Chains A and B, each alone.
Chain A
């Protein structure tokens, strides 16, 4: 069984600035890996290379054993992504947006799929509203629906609960747990919410200045660094390297 996501010696240099330097890790089936680090540590660049939006300077991104650089378009069917920095067209209704992306990902039985997503993510009450008129919590749920419309083997989540109120944030986390168990999706989660990482991730990669500086399960990292929680581990590791 090929590994859903494997990163080997991945590097990215912009002009003379090294954004990511020789990182390697993998995300197995039915696993959520957290990727933590301060702003500018290379998380977004890594995600960009996994999605084929950025060309690596060195190393490989393998999706189910196949290199994204060689089969970008085919492998994009296996991936999807959600980020608070990316939105869906505001003038389209929620239903229209899901239809558009369902077609772009060539989803079979699209109508049923949209009904399923609307039910699971509670989108029915605003399904015919323009996406631009929704609250940030509602928009987030619609973006989440778009990100799983193709049942991706690898789901990339960039701060999926940023700017959400605690209730909506908890709803999204619970949904992700349930969805991941049901579909056995491999998830790479970049987040600044440490309790979220502790709750969802089986393993964590700590990044700083483009490299992985530590890794392990949240419990292992807390124990290893003699701290009470992941937030303290994060602060220790990033301050040690200043």
Chain B
């Protein structure tokens, strides 16, 4: 029994990323729920239709989560199945790899989300479709940001190898408190507000709440979200190409399957 304990203890002791991983999740959970609790204690009458808004925001956040994880999973599955090298010796241009990952991530996202969206109506009397046409705009914006995060993580995997895997899982949760999914940006401390304003999520979720509460669309929020999305997407694509070049110099591509 002690031997088995030692086997895992040595593993944890020798790996800083593992220790950080253990600390990371509870910290993020506490921060997120801390802000949510703070919001409800100050603005208890803010939402007249709390369940509908929270559930709609949760589903929208899942669009981001699913699209990003789907993109990462497609990449990770090639590493886990030791097929990574086969992929990169096939005559595929990087832009073809990116395009196929983006398309497949969309299909995976829809497979995961459509049943959840259908279930919320009979179970809770909430339909995300109430957002109307703007839902499509918000969905697209979240999907673009999701695949952009996927590009960042895949770039890291390519450059640093499978040890970057934990980042793939934890990157999205880091954004949850800063993305202001369930509360307005004002609830964050000033320093976090500055960071949050650089994320398209703040504008997307602010607009979702605005549409549901006031029934009008503020296109300024949507414009801001798309502008930021474009900047991040261009940077994500650049990073993917750059990481590929670096991986060819460092030899990560050939060692990935071993």
What residue of chain A has the Cβ atom nearest to residue B89's Cβ?
A51
Knowing A44-B254, A48-B254, A87-B257, the reply to whether A104 touches B91 (Cβ < 8 A) is: yes
In the complex, B88 has a CB within 8 A of chain A: yes
**Shortest Cβ distance from residue A155 to the other chain B in the assembled complex, whole angstroms:** 12
Knowing A53-B85, A54-B248, A89-B77, the reply to whether A76 touches B257 (Cβ < 8 A) is: no
**Shortest Cβ distance from residue B191 to the other chain A in the assembled complex, whole angstroms:** 38
In the complex, B249 has a CB within 8 A of chain A: yes
Knowing A74-B91, A104-B90, A105-B90, the reply to whether A87 touches B248 (Cβ < 8 A) is: no
For the complex, what is the distance from the CA of A89 to the CA of B83, rounded to whole Å?
6
What residue of chain A has the Cβ atom nearest to residue B253's Cβ?
A53
Determine, out of A27-35, A78-86, A186-194, the stretch whose residues face the partner at the interface.
A78-86
A80 near B83 with CB under 8 A, answer no
Knowing A101-B90, A106-B91, the reply to whether A86 touches B85 (Cβ < 8 A) is: yes
In the complex, A73 has a CB within 8 A of chain B: yes
Point out the residues of chain A lying under 8 angstroms from B38, CB to CB.
none
For the complex, what is the distance from the CA of A51 to the CA of B85, rounded to whole Å?
10
A76 near B89 with CB under 8 A, answer yes
A45 near B251 with CB under 8 A, answer yes
**Shortest Cβ distance from residue A96 to the other chain B in the assembled complex, whole angstroms:** 13
Chain B 81-99, CB-CB to A under 8 Å as 1, else 0, gives: 1111110111111000000
A residues with a Cβ closer than 8 A to B are 14, 44-45, 48, 51-55, 73-74, 76-77, 79-81, 83, 85-91, 101, 104-106, 146
For the complex, what is the distance from the CA of A90 to the CA of B86, rounded to whole Å?
13
Point out the residues of chain A lying under 8 angstroms from B78, CB to CB.
89
**Shortest Cβ distance from residue B135 to the other chain A in the assembled complex, whole angstroms:** 34
B253 near A54 with CB under 8 A, answer yes
A52 near B89 with CB under 8 A, answer yes
Point out the residues of chain A lying under 8 angstroms from B251, CB to CB.
14, 45, 48, 53-54
In the complex, B186 has a CB within 8 A of chain A: no
In the complex, B220 has a CB within 8 A of chain A: no
For the complex, what is the distance from the CA of A179 to the CA of B88, rounded to whole Å?
25
New A-B contacts (5) at CB < 8 Å, excluding given A48-B254, A73-B92: A45-B251, A53-B254, A81-B89, A85-B257, A89-B78
For the complex, what is the distance from the CA of A83 to the CA of B255, rounded to whole Å?
12
In the complex, B258 has a CB within 8 A of chain A: yes
In the complex, B130 has a CB within 8 A of chain A: no
**Shortest Cβ distance from residue B89 to the other chain A in the assembled complex, whole angstroms:** 5
B residues with a Cβ closer than 8 A to A are 77-78, 81-86, 88-93, 245, 248-251, 253-254, 257-258
For the complex, what is the distance from the CA of A38 to the CA of B125, rounded to whole Å?
69
The 5 closest A-B pairs by CB, nearest first: A76-B91, A48-B254, A104-B90, A87-B82, A55-B248
For the complex, what is the distance from the CA of A18 to the CA of B81, rounded to whole Å?
30
What residue of chain A has the Cβ atom nearest to residue B251's Cβ?
A54
What residue of chain B has the Cβ atom nearest to residue A51's Cβ?
B89
Q: List 8 A-B contacts (CB under 8 A).
A: A53-B88, A54-B248, A54-B253, A85-B258, A86-B85, A91-B81, A101-B86, A104-B91
For the complex, what is the distance from the CA of A80 to the CA of B90, rounded to whole Å?
8
Point out the residues of chain A lying under 8 angstroms from B89, CB to CB.
51-53, 76, 79-81
For the complex, what is the distance from the CA of A104 to the CA of B78, rounded to whole Å?
15
A88 near B88 with CB under 8 A, answer no
What residue of chain A has the Cβ atom nearest to residue B86's Cβ?
A86
A86 near B91 with CB under 8 A, answer no
Point out the residues of chain A lying under 8 angstroms from B248, CB to CB.
52-55
Point out the residues of chain B lying under 8 angstroms from A85, CB to CB.
82, 85, 257-258
**Shortest Cβ distance from residue B243 to the other chain A in the assembled complex, whole angstroms:** 13
**Shortest Cβ distance from residue B80 to the other chain A in the assembled complex, whole angstroms:** 9
Point out the residues of chain B lying under 8 angstroms from A101, CB to CB.
86, 90
Point out the residues of chain A lying under 8 angstroms from B90, CB to CB.
76, 101, 104-105
Knowing A53-B248, A86-B82, A86-B83, the reply to whether A73 touches B93 (Cβ < 8 A) is: yes
A146 near B86 with CB under 8 A, answer yes
For the complex, what is the distance from the CA of A80 to the CA of B89, rounded to whole Å?
7
What residue of chain B has the Cβ atom nearest to residue A106's Cβ?
B91
Of the listed residues B89, B245, B251, the one surrounded by the most CB atoms of chain A closer than 10 A to its CB is B89
For the complex, what is the distance from the CA of A104 to the CA of B91, rounded to whole Å?
7
**Shortest Cβ distance from residue A56 to the other chain B in the assembled complex, whole angstroms:** 10
A89 near B93 with CB under 8 A, answer no
Contact of B81 among A51, A52, A77, A87 (CB under 8 A): A87
Point out the residues of chain A lying under 8 angstroms from B258, CB to CB.
85
